[in-house]
Structure 1
């Protein structure tokens, strides 16, 4: 058996977790939990505060680093990406460790042992990730697009660069499955942007970035920013929506087969040529895909020629208000009723913190596009009303609400994914058991639990 399932692997970490748990023994029997992955971890180790004006030092956390590294090495040995754990630590030294392995039907939780989204249907993705671009048959290049001027300008700015051959360009088109627009071909005829062409000359690379207006990818690294390239956990992706106003230059998609990424702004935001523009856009316009956004892109320039000659637009268009919104929030700070959120175009409803009478879902009955419902524990007057929402593909509820649906045999069978809201000090082992009940309804692989016992002395 892998050393991941050896108590000795975990003992150094458990000893660090044991101090400071006494104040939690009364209501949780000394239970603490966390998650460790190959490249990061979240464990409730109590760290001493640094002196004012001084940051924490690595040597002050050396014991934690060493203990976690021991588990990470075991993860690598076992071929696992991460493991969640719950440890019951008694004052007398007895330790019971529960190791939770999610498997292919459960996304990792966030910073703790509670399970993430449950993938009830294999390979299913949220509706925004299935959305294809609307046709734009009348879209034409912007008046500023001029491949000849673009090529001449770049040759003047970066003389002596190694350009791509026609065979190189044809190979890139075959790999991508799309014909490169003329401006992009002109750019790569000037330079194929390979690092080895500069012989490690950083100044030459910087000159090219200044000339083009971005960190240019080599021709071999061009890629299509389709929906699959913009990965997002179900729990967040299901709450997104694709909205393209009639005056938008860029479609509000997750991704498009017509978005050809060719560069980066140096901060992780991708720059692409857009061949599937919005209603007011131009074919071949330049867009920027923010790395902190899951949908949409912003217009950077009307054409690649425009970007090189004039730089990015001074002001990027901001987000447009949705009237009425297809994603709605009911809570103490936003909308104050389900009725106020309900309309025929509503796709996502999130019910958050609520300090009034629990809410009825009756105003949602019959809404044709409602696909996502999330509700904070205790906010619903009757969870069984969810059975009337036939179009749901994602549902996020508290343990009691899920229990009511399970006991009544009323869990919507059209769901593709689900999640359990477990805020605060909720028992992660109970949440795991509840998750396995839901997974069993779809005959999906369960979360497995391995129990190790030992004595910390």
Structure 2
């Protein structure tokens, strides 16, 4: 038996859950639930407050830390990334523990026991992750781009730097499968940015950062920032849309075969040479890919020469338009109605918390690009209207609305992925059963549930 499926592994944590949630567990249907993975955990136990004037320390939650650590060790030994759990414990201490493993067809939830997006078609990705940049006729380098000036300037700033050989540059091009632009070659001819060249000394690396304007990657760490380099869970990725206004300098795509990443700003954001610019951009411009964004990029400089000579262009980055018809959030603080959201360009419709009567989907029936619908529980007047939305690839509904579609055998067959919107206090086991019912319709691997029992 894998260690994660042994009752003894969980006993210390179950005891904490039992003592901290006695009233909740004793109620009819009482249970507690959580999730533990190598990346973190969410368990319903009370955190002891530290003494006034002192920040929280590990010792303030030592029992929880030790109990979760026991589960972490079992996850490692069992070769499992994470597991959700539901515990039912009687007042006498009889514990029934349900362990839930998502399997290959369900993404992990966002820190809780409920499943994340349900992958109905293996390997499918949302539409923005399938989009390539549009060709831009007449795109050309910025007039100020000058590899010779760039190289001369860098040699003056870095007189002792070790440059890459032509063989090393050629090897990098072969690895990438693309020719490096002339400015990037000029940069690496001056400094190859290898850590061993600086003897592992940050002080020796600092002049390169100052001279170039970023933490420069060595040649063998260059990569293409295509869409696959920015993975994102379906529940978030399906809510994005590729929008590139006519005056944009940078295309609003997730990634591009023409984005060559060469550095980092020190905060996890990547710098890239852009060979597929927007309608008003320049070939070879420098863009920033934010680690906090799933899509698009920001313009930093018109060229690598511009970046080195003048630094970042403050305030010159592209920003998404404040309103775009491709994505509509209908809720008490957003778009006022489904009718107001209806537009031929609409791709993503999210219906959130709503104070009025449940809404009809009739205004968006027949829209040619609508591919995502997310509806908060109780907001739809008739869930069966979803059958009229023939282009959906992602659908997120509450359990009751899914039940209507399943009972009527009306779940859209064109879906690539699905989500179940639940409140955090809802019992996870019926939600797991619902997810497995959806998976079965597509003949996909189910989530698994293991039951452990014992006395505390």
Matches within 5 A, 1:203-218: 203-218=203-218
Q: Which residue of 1 aligns with 2:417?
A: 417
- Offset at 1:22? 2.6
Matches within 5 A, 1:4-153: 4-25=4-25, 27=27, 29-153=29-153
- Offset at 1:112? 1.2
Q: Verify the 8 A CA contact 2:244 2:278 in the aligned structure 1.
A: yes
Q: Which runs of 5+ in 2 are unaligned?
A: none
Structure 1 pair 278/454, CA: closer, same or farther in 2 (3 Å)? Answer: same
Report the 3-state secondary structure (helix = DSSP H, G, I; strand = E; otherwise coil) of the residue aligned with 1:61: helix
Q: Verify the 8 A CA contact 2:297 2:318 in the aligned structure 1.
A: no
Aligned mates of 1:324, 1:13 — CA distance in 2: 48
Q: Which runs of 4+ in 1 moved over 6 A?
A: none
Name which of structure 1's ranges 153-162 and 278-287 shifts more when overlaid on structure 2.
153-162
1:451 aligns to 2:447 (yes or no): no
Matches within 5 A, 1:240-251: 240-251=240-251
Q: Which residue of 1 aligns with 2:392?
A: 392
Name which of structure 1's ranges 132-141 and 208-217 shifts more when overlaid on structure 2.
132-141
Report the 3-state secondary structure (helix = DSSP H, G, I; strand = E; otherwise coil) of the residue aligned with 2:88: strand
* 1:178-237 deviation per Cα after TM superposition (whole angstroms, max 9, x unaligned): 110000000000111000011123222001000000010111100000000001100000
Aligned mates of 1:10, 1:26 — CA distance in 2: 20
Report the 3-state secondary structure (helix = DSSP H, G, I; strand = E; otherwise coil) of the residue aligned with 1:18: helix
Q: Verify the 8 A CA contact 2:18 2:25 in the aligned structure 1.
A: no
Aligned mates of 2:179, 2:70 — CA distance in 1: 50
Aligned mates of 2:438, 2:52 — CA distance in 1: 49
Q: Which residue of 2 aligns with 1:3?
A: 3
Q: Verify the 8 A CA contact 1:22 1:30 in the aligned structure 2.
A: no
Matches within 5 A, 1:177-192: 177-192=177-192
Q: Verify the 8 A CA contact 2:253 2:296 in the aligned structure 1.
A: yes
Q: Which residue of 1 aligns with 2:159?
A: 159
- Offset at 1:72? 1.0
Name which of structure 1's ranges 296-305 and 39-48 shifts more when overlaid on structure 2.
39-48
Aligned mates of 1:159, 1:110 — CA distance in 2: 50
- Offset at 1:25? 3.1
RMSD: 1.1
Matched residue count: 456
1:374 aligns to 2:374 (yes or no): yes
Aligned mates of 1:342, 1:360 — CA distance in 2: 12
Aligned mates of 1:224, 1:306 — CA distance in 2: 22
Aligned mates of 1:321, 1:287 — CA distance in 2: 18
Name which of structure 1's ranges 329-338 and 314-323 shifts more when overlaid on structure 2.
314-323
Aligned mates of 2:313, 2:218 — CA distance in 1: 24
Name which of structure 1's ranges 70-79 and 414-423 shifts more when overlaid on structure 2.
70-79
* 1:8-55 deviation per Cα after TM superposition (whole angstroms, max 9, x unaligned): 000011111112213323656331111111232111121122334321
Name which of structure 1's ranges 315-324 and 52-61 shifts more when overlaid on structure 2.
315-324
Matches within 5 A, 1:290-309: 290-309=290-309
Aligned mates of 2:354, 2:137 — CA distance in 1: 47
Q: Which residue of 1 aligns with 2:229?
A: 229
Q: Verify the 8 A CA contact 1:29 1:89 in the aligned structure 2.
A: no
Report the 3-state secondary structure (helix = DSSP H, G, I; strand = E; otherwise coil) of the residue aligned with 2:14: helix
- Offset at 1:365? 0.7
1:268 aligns to 2:262 (yes or no): no
* 1:346-367 deviation per Cα after TM superposition (whole angstroms, max 9, x unaligned): 0000000011100000111100
Aligned mates of 1:200, 1:318 — CA distance in 2: 37
Q: Which residue of 2 aligns with 1:284?
A: 284
Aligned mates of 1:137, 1:395 — CA distance in 2: 37
Q: Which residue of 2 aligns with 1:351?
A: 351
Report the 3-state secondary structure (helix = DSSP H, G, I; strand = E; otherwise coil) of the residue aligned with 2:20: coil
Q: Which residue of 1 aligns with 2:253?
A: 253
TM-score normalized by the length of structure 1: 0.98
Aligned mates of 1:165, 1:318 — CA distance in 2: 36
Aligned mates of 1:316, 1:62 — CA distance in 2: 49
